[in-house]
Structure 1
Amino acid sequence: MNGNGNGVWFELKNAFAPNRAISKRTLGIFITFWIACAFLIWIYWAPDIIPRPLEVFQSFISLYQNEGLAFELWKSLMTNFQVVALSTVLSLLICYSTAMPIMRPVAEALSKARFLGLTGLLVIFMSVFAGGHSLKLALMTFGMSAFNIANMSNVLERITKNQKDHARTLRMSEWEVVWEVHVRGTLDKAFDVIRDNAAIGWMMLTMVEGLVRSGGGIGKLLLDENKHLNLGAVFAIQFIIITVGLIQDYGWGGLKNLACPHAGLTLDRR
């Protein structure tokens, strides 16, 4: 008992020293501490305009019972799933095809599209797509693919000549080199790129659902409540958005660990 207590106390002291490792138990203590601090600040010291926890909880119940929160959230989740799948497949195909020099200008040009605002492209996309779900899907896929291509291109550009030469010494053809070095060799980094851009996409989705209101979704519900200054409901929806985002993020991290268990073996902080 005393030994365990001394061990925890030693780890707590280590938390204030640089480059020290701590156990998951101690990390849990720190997380609990900071969450408690955040709630205390929220309850006692937040500005009066910010709704308190009880008001947010009551708004959540009202949204669920009267505003179709569950249905709108489900529509957003399905849209997000489709967007992540489409943008991942399209962007990875384009990036891996840059092994052929003819495709490199295409990938470079598409990566620059990440600087374009989706609002300014709405009219163009509306002329091609009817509206509603298909319009949201197209806007989101375009936006996320641009970020995916930019980030994954950076990963592929860091592949060294030695890595390719090593594959060639194993008597691999050039297409086998592409498969082993470009695709399999960067799979763990591809998961990181997808994970980061999935978070960006989930954040962008609420904005796109506000632009394309006919398709519904949690973003439309958020803007409706914000328009009527129902801040309790706004905070409730924001908590749902961040909770779903965290679950999605941990899910991608779990998939990476399953597909690439070797990726974290050499890391100091795991």
Structure 2
Amino acid sequence: MKYLVKPFEDVGKNTARMIVIFWIGALLLIWFLTSMGERHLFPSPQQVLTGFVELYNEGLVVHIASSLWLCVIAIFVAIIISLILTYLSTIPVIKPIAIAVSKLRYLPLTGITFYLAILISNARTMQIWVLVTFMSTYLTTSLLSMVNAIGEQEFDHARSLKCNRWEVLWEVVVKGRIDHVIEVIRQNLAIVWMMLVTVESILVAAGGLGFLIKNSDKFMNHGRIIALQIVILTLGLSIDFILSFIRKTFFRYSKI
């Protein structure tokens, strides 16, 4: 057993599964112990189960669909903006704009929503653009790092094949890094998912998982809050798995 606590130790698949099962069991045990008694840290499993039932009866599926649709639109717009800025950043006159956008990730949410409220009157549109702003800044930062990490030999190889500069951009940066783009999107998608609850509170009437959490918190229903956290985490991990599966399926020989 000593090898399990040594750094950089290689373990087999069965051993890795046993480790995961051990930690899941430990987490469930901690949850059970901390939910016992009159005063407890977490709601009991029974309260969480009851929360799931109540949420389902109140239209949980509809709220999930609303949140997913909001994220799909925001992610699509953010990807388009970030890819255009990143690819055009190879042009000297455009590069400062791309870098400036990446630096906007230090802006607080309050400042962004204040200026967006001045420009946009529709609350649903404002939700989308808050998410777009956040994801675009982080996505552009990661994509710029991806472009900067391309070895000079790859550009030289394209030039040796008589490619002009636009062809070099297309073959090396665009086509040659599609698998990396999917990986970058997968990693940065968590930012949008994490901001979901906060952004959906801008327009409560539109519903969504954020509305359900705010409503549950208002009435101090901790069982429902934990149930919603489980739903959000499960959906986020499912999206992450799908993107990872797509990358590994269509780009089997790519490396991170």
Check whether TM > 0.5.
yes
Q: Does 1:26 align with 2:15?
A: yes
Residue type of the partner of 2:82? S
Superposition deviation, residue 15 in structure 1: 3.7
> What's the counterpart of residue 130 of structure 2?
139
Query: Distance in 1 between the 2:204 and 2:137 partners?
Result: 23
Indicate whether 1:103 and 2:103 are aligned: no
User: Deviating runs (4+, > 6 A) in structure 1?
Assistant: none
Measure how far apart 1:26 and its partner are.
3.0
Distance 1:118 1:18 in 2: 39
Instruction: Identify the match of residue 74 of structure 2 among 76, 83, 99.
Output: 83
Task: Kindly provide the amino acid, as one letter, of the partner of residue 28 in structure 1.
Answer: R
Q: What is the correspondence of 1:233-252 to structure 2 with a 5 Å cutoff?
A: 233-252=224-243
Counterpart amino acid of residue 228 in structure 1:
F
CA RMSD of aligned residues (A): 1.9
Following superposition, the deviation at residue 56 of structure 1 comes to: 0.4
Match of 1:194 in 2: 185
CA contact (8 A) 2:34 2:42 kept: no
SS state of the match for residue 11, structure 2?
coil
Q: Following TM superposition, by how much is the alpha carbon of 1:212 offset from its aligned partner in structure 2, in angstroms? A: 3.0
Deviation for aligned residue 1:121: 2.3
Equivalent residue for 2:51?
59
Percent same amino acid at aligned positions?
Answer: 31
Distance in 2 (CA, whole Å) between partners of 1:184 and 1:232 is 48
On the 8 A contact 1:195/1:249 being kept in 2, the answer is: yes
Would you say how many aligned residue pairs link Structure 1 and Structure 2? 253
Cα distance change of structure 1 residues 221 and 211 upon mapping to structure 2, 3 Å threshold: same
CA distance in 2, matches of 1:212, 1:160: 46
* Residue 207 of structure 1 pairs with residue 198 of structure 2: yes
SS of the residue 2:93 aligns to: helix
Unpaired runs of 5+ in structure 1?
Answer: 1-11
Give how far 1:84 is off. Answer: 1.4
Compute the displacement of 1:161 (Å). 2.2
What is the TM-score of this pair, normalised by structure 1?
0.87
User: Structure 1 residue 36 and structure 2 residue 42: aligned?
Assistant: no
C-alpha deviation, 1:140, in angstroms: 0.7
